[in-house]
Chains A and B, each alone.
Chain A
Amino acid sequence: MTEILAIDSLKIGFISGKHENVLLPPLNAYAYKGELIAIIGRNGIGKSTLLKTITGLQPSLGGNIFYSRKNIKDYSRMELAHRVSYISTEIVKVSNMSVYDLVALGRFPHTNWIGKIDAKNNEIIMDSIEKTGLSTLRNRFVSELSDGERQRAMIARIFAQDTDIMVMDEPTAFLDIGSKYEILHLMKNISQQNDKTIIFSTHDLHMAINQSDKIWLILADKLIEGAPEDLMIEGAFDHIFDTSTVQFNAEHGTFTFRRESRGSISVVGEGKLKHWTERAVIRAGFSLSLSKTVPQILVPNEKNSKWQFLKNDILKEFGSVYDLITYLRKEYILPG
């Protein structure tokens, strides 16, 4: 399998006056056909700059980019538009532009001098609109769409552009959580069903770990690439996102607040009830323990419909998790 995109000792950054402001050490990475690749890195580390450099919208400061083994410098603007398409974080605001017209712009590299939409182009545009679930909205103006719908329309546009590689800069930023997952689902579908490589940047580590085929993790000193699981096993994420208040959980791929424990509690029981009771206990600031010597919570079972809290042979009963947690909070004041 040959890579369709190769980044070789690429230096990215800005030129201001005669000064080269290189953001990162030389980067190396590869992309293969049909991969969904998430770019992860701290704010301001250069994700957008990397994406712009890959798409040829910004000159590189050194190194090479190869599309199907051919250097990006040997492509004309028009040839490149046949290989790679791009969505930035900029929100498109044009009045009187219908969804259809926006998607039709994706056909720009495929139409004649005046941009005539013939039957074949029309078919591709309609396919893209259908694929992104916008069929009923195609005559609506883009300015009237919700954030999620507009992002779909932008994806329809680059889908109509019909490139092997689609680059998206934070496609799920500004979206509510439902739209976030819908957009990601759409991206995953496109990459799998249409064999497109999608390279996108995101701040949502949890989503990237669970859904992408590969992660390009940008650190201050290097770019690490691999399957999300490989990076988890290597512990690549372990400390980069940690702050004084937030901690990355390498087992679940989630973040938790860092805080001092109010003490240890063991939760006894089974299934859903045990799981959610444990969650509540952790949220309240306790750590879980299996020891028999610490205070115990017995979750409701066949014999008993209440939560029982057992400490020093004193038993208290609670009708809901809420009541239980409220009691625990009062009983155990945070140390310090």
Chain B
Amino acid sequence: MQKSLKINKQIERGNIFASGKRHKLIFTGLFFLVISFLILDIFFGSVSIKASDVLKAIFADTGSNLETIVLKFRLPKAITALIVGIALSLSGLQMQTIFRNPMAGPYVLGISSGASLGVAFVILGFSANISPANLAGLGNWILIAASWAGAGIVMLLVMFISSRVKDIMTILILGIMLASGISAVVTIMQYFSNETMLKAYVIWTMGSLGNLTSSQLNVLLISVSVGVLLSLISVKMLNALLLGENYASSIGLNVRFSRVVIFACTSILAGSVTAFCGPIGFIGIAVPHIARILFRTSDHKILIPGTILTGGAVMLASDIISQLPGSESVLPVNAVTSLIGIPVVIWVILRNRKYSDLF
């Protein structure tokens, strides 16, 4: 009798534990994927270095050129890729939930454009001496803060309009309009700026993981850590917001406060990345969907860590692909992320054509 009761209990709790086991398995798999991609990313590059030399460079102090390449270029670049993947994906997940829109993401909704406007103000607006490549210390923080502000303003704008217009496609078009409008403003600014500023800005817009100075990497690391921390705090809020604001409010959520937290978090995450690496497309919109496919859940307790790992893995993979292993040429990482992300986005659109408001 006791035993059958116990079994009964196990069946009753089956839901949590069966899917719990599955989730643990996927988490473990993703974790090892991230680690192996991280290692691969360090081992591959435009200069062919033997695996043994890479290990030597990391663990032995040889002072060779190879060591400089590995420690000064490849390692920071791989770490940047990881951070960028995590930050963009998390911000995409949060935006998709808060807008209740599967097509939301920092790039498509124009948030990245907003951030780039902030950057343009700093680079094109002040002096030829300011460019992401030669900024240090306080300058980095000014650049990143401008980027946050730009991202935040566009975020508010999209939020304001999407409270009036519920249709997903309309909001998408709106995002395109905002991005075009911003790029028009930037073009005007470019017209009035001098050659050096222009060059610095154009290089920045190409998007790159490899141009960060170590002080910039520090700033990026600190900012994204704050963003990740905020996103952990927002887990419960995001779950409540899945049902929409009325329901969220009726189960006890302070909607206004939650919005501020999630907004700040998204703007910091998307803005920080954009400030130093330029606009990188389709990671933010696609990765949350990949995480949803993998974990088959809407629970942010699972989705947030899931998106962090998936985002890191996808971005590292993009970086590996962009180096075209075996060759000496390097593709812009932006092109790779687009090619990975766009099929996912198209899949989501096709799947949702029946329910235009499902996410």
Contact = CB atoms under 8 A, between A and B. Distances in A.
Interface of A: 52, 55-57, 77-78, 80-82, 84-86, 88, 90, 92-98, 100-101, 105-106, 108-109, 111, 113-117, 122, 126, 138-139, 143, 161
B246 A105 contact: no
Interface stretch (B151-159, B212-220, B248-256): B248-256
A105 B292 contact: no
Interface of B: 12-13, 15-16, 19, 102, 232-233, 235-236, 239-240, 242-244, 246-247, 249-254, 292, 296-299, 301, 355, 357-359
Contact of B359 (A95, A111, A117): A95
B120 to A, nearest CB: 37
8 contacts: A77-B252, A108-B236, A108-B240, A108-B252, A113-B233, A113-B236, A126-B12, A143-B355
Contacts of B250: 55, 57, 81, 84-86
B123 to A, nearest CB: 40
A109 B254 CA distance: 11
Contacts of A81: 250-252
B301 A114 contact: yes
Contacts of B296: 96
Contacts of A106: 251
Contacts of B16: 100, 117, 122
Contact of B358 (A77, A95, A108): A95
Contacts of A143: 355, 358
A101 B243 contact: no
B90 to A, nearest CB: 16
Given A57-B249, A81-B250, A98 B297 contact: yes
A95 B292 contact: yes
Given A77-B252, A101-B299, A111 B246 contact: no
Contacts of A98: 15, 297-298
B234 to A, nearest CB: 10
Contacts of B232: 114
B236 A115 contact: yes
A86 B292 CA distance: 28
Nearest to A93: B358
B251 A105 contact: yes
A117 B20 CA distance: 12
Contact of B243 (A55, A94, A96, A116): A94
Nearest to A115: B236
A93 B355 contact: yes
B223 to A, nearest CB: 23
Contact of B292 (A77, A96, A139): A96
A97 B252 contact: no
Q: By CB atoms of chain B within 10 A, which of A77, A78, A98, A122 has the most?
A: A77
A78 B292 contact: no
A92 B253 CA distance: 17
B15 A138 contact: yes
A115 B242 contact: no
Contacts of A139: 15, 19
B251 A80 contact: no
Contacts of A95: 102, 292, 298, 358-359
Contacts of A90: 244, 246-247
Contacts of A85: 250-251
B298 A94 contact: yes
Given A108-B236, A122-B13, A96 B298 contact: yes
Contacts of A88: 246-247
Listed from nearest, the 5 A-B pairs whose CB atoms lie closest are A81-B252, A97-B298, A86-B250, A108-B251, A109-B252
Q: By CB atoms of chain B within 10 A, which of A81, A93, A111, A161 has the most?
A: A93
A92 B252 contact: no
Contacts of A96: 292, 296-298
Contacts of A115: 235-236, 239, 301
B102 to A, nearest CB: 8
A183 B235 CA distance: 32
Nearest to A84: B250
A80 B252 contact: yes
Nearest to B256: A77
A86 B252 CA distance: 11
Nearest to B244: A90
